[in-house]
Amino acid sequence: MINDCTGVILAGGRSTRYGGRNKALAPFGEGRLMDAVLRPMTEIFGEKILIVSRETGLYGDFGFPVVADVLPVPGAATGIHAGLFHAKTDTVFVVACDMPFIRPELIRLVLSHMHPPLLALFPCHGKNHLEPLCAAYHRDGLPVLESHILEGKSKVQWIFTNEKKGLVPESLLREADEDLQSFININSPEDARKAREALMMFP
Ligand SMILES: Nc1nc2c(ncn2[C@@H]2O[C@H](COP(=O)(O)OP(=O)(O)OP(=O)(O)O)[C@@H](O)[C@H]2O)c(=O)[nH]1
């Protein structure tokens, strides 16, 4: 178990592409989509997990603290900001509530490369495709994150300067997760249907 880091699950989205029904609570496997994300996260972080949302009343029955966004700008970046703001550790590992195939090995790999002076560390695969919603962040990045969000910039992967930003290359990622399934995310009911099928074939 990793002690000096908090696992943060982003769950304050509007699920527009999911038809407006909260996808975090959608049935998935033997539980809900959120349960599928919580399982690998608890394997790594134990009790040290925060669920971050605009509304804090939605997730009380998952057994983890639910904390509220701090900035009034909707978006995943605001959730990351709130995770860093509320966490009691300097480092957080953030994952979206719609990434049910995230592998504990991948989380461990990313965190093993998170060292000063990095403020953010992103998995990188394909043609320079960064994964800001499955990444590690340091508390010292809060001010820069906050000012960019308030300026209306939401692409977290481009907020940090090159010296403060690290990338975990695809070759290393594949050692932890050969097919990079960790990065599959569920946006629509059709995505969920395909993922449930995959789950039945490869439980
Ligand atoms: N805390 C918090 N999380 C957010 C917010 N907006 C999005 N998220 C989360 O960020 C992750 C990625 O969100 P998206 O899939 O891009 O957006 P979404 O709102 O969930 O879905 P769409 O409305 O279909 O775009 C999901 O885990 C969301 O729950 C927000 O304002 N606050």
Rounded to whole angstroms, how far apart are CA atoms 94 and 136?
6
Question: Which residue, judged by its Cα, is nearest atom 26 of ligand 1?
Answer: 96
pLDDT of residue 171: 98
* CA 14 / ligand 1 centre spacing (Å): 6
Ligand 1, closest atom to CA 23?
A: 20
Take residue 21 and report the two structure tokens written for it.
């029904």
Domain range for 59 is 5-201
Residues having CB within 6 Å of any atom of ligand 1: 10-18, 52-54, 69, 74-76, 78-79, 82, 96-98, 133, 187
Question: Based on the structure, what is the number of domains in the chain?
Answer: 1
Residue 83 pLDDT: 98
As a whole-number percent, the residues of the chain with pLDDT over 70 amount to 99
Give me the CATH number covering residue 140.
Answer: 3.90.550.10
Q: Residue 91 has what pLDDT?
A: 97
User: Which tens digits make up the pLDDT trace of 53-110?
Assistant: 999 899 999 999 999 999 999 999 999 999 999 999 999 999 999 999 999 999 999 9
- pLDDT band at 202; cut points 50, 70, 90: low
- Once rounded to an integer, what is the mean pLDDT over residues 185-202? 88
For residue 41, give every residue at least 6 positions away whose Cβ sits within 8 Å of its Cβ, in sequence order, or none.
Answer: 7, 9, 49, 95, 102, 107
- Residue 109 CA to ligand 1 centre (angstroms): 25
